[in-house]
Amino acid sequence: MSTATDLPIENSVQQPDDMELTCNTAPEQDVSSVAEPQTMTVYLRVRPFSKEELRDNEDQGCVVIENGQMVTLNAPKGSATLKSSEKGIGMSLHKFTFTQIFGPEANQAELFESTVKSQMSDFLDGRNSLIFSYGVTNAGKTFTIQGSPKDPGILPRVLHATFSHMGHNQYEGMDLKPYLRNDAQYLHPDQVKQERSVKDAIFASAKEDGECLRTSGGSEFSSCSASRLSSSVPSCSQTGETSSPAEAGSSQFALWVAFFEIYNECVYDLLQPSLCAKTKKRAALRVCDDGAGNAYVKDLRWINIHNLAEACKLLQFGNKNRSAAATKMNQSSSRSHSIFTMKLLKIDDGSVKQISELSLCDLAGSERCNKTKTMGERLKEAGNINNSLLILGKCITALRNNQTDGMKSSYIPFRESKLTKLFQTFFCGKGRASMIVNINQCASTYDETLHVMKFSAVAKQVVQVIPEKPLEPLAPCLVGRDGKALARNAMMDNRALESCLSEEELLDEEDEADVTVMPQNELVNIIENLRAKLLAERRRNLVQEMEIRKEMGDAMLQQLMESEDLRTRQIEELKESYQEKLENTFEMYKEAIKEHAYQSAMNNLEDNYVPLDEFTAEQDKVEALRRRVSELEILTSGTGGVSAVDQSSQSHQSGGEDRCKWLYKEKCALEKMCEDKQQLILSLEKRLMELSGTLQTVRDSFLEKSSELEALQIKSNAQTKSMEELLQRDLARDMEVSSLKAELAKLSQKSPVQAKTKRGLLANIREAVTSPRKATSARTLRKTPRTGHH
Ligand SMILES: Nc1ncnc2c1ncn2[C@@H]1O[C@H](COP(=O)(O)OP(=O)(O)OP(=O)(O)O)[C@@H](O)[C@H]1O
């Protein structure tokens, strides 16, 4: 078994020729019992050339099957691939390996035996499976899935094997029916009746069509396949590959099938009887969510079948409804993805114990518009087909990328197409998917075939985790006749699904759950759960909010304290600076006052200057007077006690009293004088201050005036200069005038006419009046220029 080393589509184009694209090869492995992750199983089937193709020289050796697992693709002449490789872009030869390759000679039985059987076992053992065929149009996809009446494909063989497995243990009740995606429900007898009538109607219609088609020879698949299969194909139980009916014990089985197609992104039920009436427009079905993340087709018709013949009739009926539209490449080309789904209900004691699903999907052709020369409606179809295939490719690439790079979790666009939405569960651990790639060997479709091969190279790198036991959610939830759930496995393994889904997808509101079909108590439970979740979420949010608020409060407090500190420091600094400034100002004032006091003192000294002799004499006088005063004071104070002095100076008493009075008066006068002097000093000081102020003002104004004066001086200097210049010019002119006068005088002395002119205008007029001859000549003289002018 080789290892998976395939490169993604983008990279593989640039690989060197000798590099191989490989995939896991496990043809013989029974994967049903393996719980280990596996890469997706991808088979290749190469169909034989048709006569027309050989005639058209389509065989150019494009596809060379090297061995059971490897194939080489050689770009033929005229293909875009060859042209690109000639330009140095890409290469002309590509190698691919597959789980197993089936050449043109491989028949349907071989294919079934080697491919689908393991998944068949899964299905019969209660696990889900998906098989889809992929390839360009006309590559043999439908042939592989359905086959022909002579050569039945995988689907009839699966059905045959299933009925063989069920044997006689079929549940005949028809009152247990699949419900939603993985559940089952009990039906009322009325509902059972209804089911039967629907089935009969389909079979009646199929019978008519069968007759019609048989006569025209156009039927691809008919009930004759059933008889062919029954006679030629051994059942699984016969080959011992799956559990036999005996092993199933007392369990009974019910097989329900549905057949639908996805056409232009709309889901249509292929088992709707009304479809046979061609005038009626088909009703598109909705893809809903069952509440556990599984998509299902709402209102899809499920038919309970009991044998292969019934299954074949349904297939025939459904095929007729398929949107088979002619294209240039294949007149019977299917333009839709058709899905045939089987649901096997394992019933014990009248209740469903297990439900498994097996879907076979026949994808529409993967061709591109330019090849098919599609127009109008066909172009729209091609767009939708290619889009859903593109989304499938995207999903598979994203799955592979997420799996190869554990750190990566890119969005997987399952919800972007109906096809991938329905297949999603198979890629998320809820079932196994395998792919059968169909190719033709035609040179004309080489480029498309190469694209398909590259896609499959990516697909087979997708890892699937297949559980050993059936998954819990696959076990059914039984819904009673009243619509209430009868049993439910509480364990919902959403983890696997969530790991594949992005948050975006989980919150996708478009993904509507079909609540109308849910029983009431389940809805109540859902509401309760949601309420509990909401409460828990609110609580968590509240705690989170409180924590955030606390954090914010702490941060703000810290910030406030820091700013408070800063402000206190700033205030201290300001206080200090102001204090300093104040002290400086105070010192300045002190100095100024001192200076002023000194100046005042000096001025006073000058004013009150007294010569030294006078001052000494005066001082002596004052001293004498002071002595006398003190004597007198002694005398006056001791009048009563000192009788001796009284007696000795009795005669001088009256004179002393006078003297004392005088001295007292003198003293008072001196004190008054001192006081006056003091007042004078004060007033002088005041006056001095005023004068200083005035002086300052005068000085300021003086300075101002000086500067003005200076400016005026400069201006006047300039004016003086200009005046001087003018004067000089006048002087020069005067001199010129005087010289001219002198010259004139000289000339007048020489010529009398000139002198006469000098006499003035009045004298001239007078002279003209007195002398008519002269006046005429003067007139003549005045006229002359005028005449000359004319
Ligand atoms: N393995 C095969 N052996 C013989 N004939 C085959 C084989 N595979 C396909 N064919 C024939 O090739 C033709 C085209 O096959 P088929 O209709 O299955 O192609 P397809 O891929 O389903 O095309 P589309 O996508 O348009 O539906 C049919 O006539 C079919 O019988």
In this prediction the ipTM stands at 0.98
- The DSSP bridge pattern shows strands 41-46 and 432-439 to be parallel
Alpha carbon distance 564, 556 (integer Å)? 12
Mean pLDDT of 540-554: 85
Count of C-beta atoms within a 10 Å radius of residue 604:
15
Lowest mean pLDDT among 224-238, 349-363, 387-401, 404-418: 224-238
Mean pLDDT of 515-541: 79
Judge whether residue 477 has pLDDT over 60.
no
Take atom 8 of ligand 1 and give the residue whose Cα is closest: 140
Lowest mean pLDDT among 152-161, 359-368, 589-598: 359-368
Q: Which two tokens stand for residue 659?
A: 């003297």
Please report the pLDDT score of residue 600 as a whole number.
84
Please report the pLDDT score of residue 647 as a whole number.
53
CA of 141 to the centre of ligand 1 (A): 6
Confidence of residue 435 (pLDDT cuts 50, 70, 90): very high
Lowest mean pLDDT among 46-60, 264-278, 570-584: 264-278
Report the chain's terminal Cα–Cα distance, integer Å.
Answer: 134
Alpha carbon distance 441, 75 (integer Å)? 11
Please report the pLDDT score of residue 767 as a whole number.
57
Alpha carbon distance 284, 266 (integer Å)? 6
Contacts of range 81-86, beta carbons closer than 8 Å, 24 or more positions apart: 81/446, 81/447, 81/450
Mean per-residue pLDDT of the chain: 74
What are the pocket residues of ligand 1 if the criterion is a CB atom closer than 6 Å to any ligand atom? Answer: 47-48, 135, 137-143, 330, 333-334, 364-365, 438
Higher pLDDT, 229 or 724: 724
Take atom 31 of ligand 1 and give the residue whose Cα is closest: 143
Given ligand 1 and candidates 101, 142, 155, 449, which is best to mutate, with the most ligand atoms within 8 Å of its CB? 142
Q: Is 231 helix (H, G, I), strand (E, B) or coil?
A: helix
Take atom 2 of ligand 1 and give the residue whose Cα is closest: 47
Q: What single-letter amino acid sits at 736?
A: E
CA of 145 to the centre of ligand 1 (A): 10
What the chain holds in terms of domains, given with CATH numbers, is 9-321+331-518 (3.40.850.10), 748-790 (no CATH)
Nearest to 425 by CA among 504, 339, 500, 518: 500
Query: Torsions phi, psi of 615, nearest 5?
Result: -65, -40
Specify whether the CB–CB gap between 343 and 357 falls below 8 A. Answer: yes
Query: Percentage of the chain surpassing pLDDT 90?
Result: 16
Please report the pLDDT score of residue 293 as a whole number.
79
Model confidence pLDDT, tens digit, residues 154-169: 999 999 999 998 888 8
Give the ligand 1 atom nearest the CA of 108: 1
Q: How many residues does the chain have?
A: 790
Please report the pLDDT score of residue 542 as a whole number.
86
Highest mean pLDDT pick, 64-78, 497-511, 609-623:
64-78
Judge whether residue 344 has pLDDT over 90.
yes
Mean pLDDT of 210-219: 42
Alpha carbon distance 234, 243 (integer Å)? 14
Q: Which two tokens stand for residue 488?
A: 């439910």
Judge whether residue 521 has pLDDT over 90.
no
Lowest mean pLDDT among 5-19, 26-40, 62-76: 5-19
Q: Is 243 helix (H, G, I), strand (E, B) or coil?
A: coil
Alpha carbon distance 471, 593 (integer Å)? 108
Confidence of residue 278 (pLDDT cuts 50, 70, 90): low
Tally of CA atoms within 13 A in the half-sphere of 69 that contains its CB: 18
Alpha carbon distance 49, 762 (integer Å)? 146
Mean pLDDT of 579-604: 87
Distances (CA, A) of 400 to 32, 196, 295, 449: 22, 45, 22, 22
Query: Percentage of the chain surpassing pLDDT 70?
Result: 68
Highest mean pLDDT pick, 7-16, 79-88, 137-146, 230-239:
137-146
Please report the pLDDT score of residue 47 as a whole number.
94
CA of 543 to the centre of ligand 1 (A): 65
Higher pLDDT, 176 or 4: 176
Take atom 15 of ligand 1 and give the residue whose Cα is closest: 140
Element (H, E) at 592: helix 520-607
Alpha carbon distance 43, 106 (integer Å)? 13
Model confidence pLDDT, tens digit, residues 594-617: 888 888 888 877 777 777 788 788
Give the ligand 1 atom nearest the CA of 334: 27
Judge whether residue 515 has pLDDT over 80.
no
Please report the pLDDT score of residue 364 as a whole number.
82
Judge whether residue 709 has pLDDT over 90.
no
Alpha carbon distance 432, 18 (integer Å)? 33
Please report the pLDDT score of residue 254 as a whole number.
94
CA of 41 to the centre of ligand 1 (A): 22
Given ligand 1 and candidates 111, 136, 138, 319, which is best to mutate, with the most ligand atoms within 8 Å of its CB? 138
Residue 526 burial class via C-beta count within 10 angstroms: exposed 0-12, middle 13-18, buried 19 and up: middle
Mean pLDDT of 167-186: 87
Please report the pLDDT score of residue 638 as a whole number.
59
Please report the pLDDT score of residue 279 as a whole number.
52
Specify whether the CB–CB gap between 247 and 169 falls below 8 A. Answer: no
CA of 144 to the centre of ligand 1 (A): 8
Q: What single-letter amino acid sits at 143?
A: F
Judge whether residue 771 has pLDDT over 80.
no
Confidence of residue 763 (pLDDT cuts 50, 70, 90): low
Lowest mean pLDDT among 43-57, 616-630, 647-661: 647-661
Q: What single-letter amino acid sits at 329?
A: M
Specify whether the CB–CB gap between 423 and 341 falls below 8 A. Answer: no
Judge whether residue 502 has pLDDT over 90.
no
Model confidence pLDDT, tens digit, residues 368-417: 544 444 445 555 555 555 677 778 888 888 887 777 766 667 788 888 88
CA of 205 to the centre of ligand 1 (A): 26
Annotated binding site for ATP: 135-142
Q: What single-letter amino acid sits at 613?
A: D
Mean pLDDT of 654-669: 80
- The DSSP bridge pattern shows strands 93-97 and 70-74 to be antiparallel
Q: Which two tokens stand for residue 777?
A: 């000549």
Per the rule left: phi > 0, alpha: psi between -120 and 50, beta: everything else, 190 is alpha
Mean pLDDT of 146-151: 87
Confidence of residue 789 (pLDDT cuts 50, 70, 90): very low
Please report the pLDDT score of residue 230 as a whole number.
55
Give the ligand 1 atom nearest the CA of 220: 31
Judge whether residue 66 has pLDDT over 90.
yes
Given ligand 1 and candidates 43, 46, 47, which is best to mutate, with the most ligand atoms within 8 Å of its CB? 47
Enter the pTM of the model: 0.57
Alpha carbon distance 513, 294 (integer Å)? 9
Give the ligand 1 atom nearest the CA of 329: 26
Nearest to 408 by CA among 399, 419, 421, 417: 399
Q: What single-letter amino acid sits at 53?
A: E
CA of 712 to the centre of ligand 1 (A): 120
Judge whether residue 248 has pLDDT over 60.
no
Judge whether residue 5 has pLDDT over 80.
no
CA of 440 to the centre of ligand 1 (A): 9
Higher pLDDT, 34 or 36: 36
CA of 148 to the centre of ligand 1 (A): 10
Specify whether the CB–CB gap between 77 and 10 falls below 8 A. Answer: no
Given ligand 1 and candidates 44, 115, 132, 143, which is best to mutate, with the most ligand atoms within 8 Å of its CB? 143
Judge whether residue 497 has pLDDT over 50.
no
Judge whether residue 651 has pLDDT over 50.
yes
Specify whether the CB–CB gap between 74 and 61 falls below 8 A. Answer: yes
Count of C-beta atoms within a 10 Å radius of residue 178:
26
Q: Which two tokens stand for residue 579?
A: 């204090």
Q: At what angle do helices 520-607 and 653-750 cross, to 10 degrees?
A: 100
Model confidence pLDDT, tens digit, residues 723-747: 888 888 888 888 888 888 888 888 8
Mean pLDDT of 537-560: 85
Alpha carbon distance 591, 594 (integer Å)? 5
Count of C-beta atoms within a 10 Å radius of residue 164:
22
Distances (CA, A) of 497 to 98, 424, 500, 654: 28, 9, 5, 144
Please report the pLDDT score of residue 65 as a whole number.
94
Annotated binding site: 135-142
Distances (CA, A) of 786 to 267, 494, 577, 624: 122, 130, 98, 123
Judge whether residue 485 has pLDDT over 70.
no
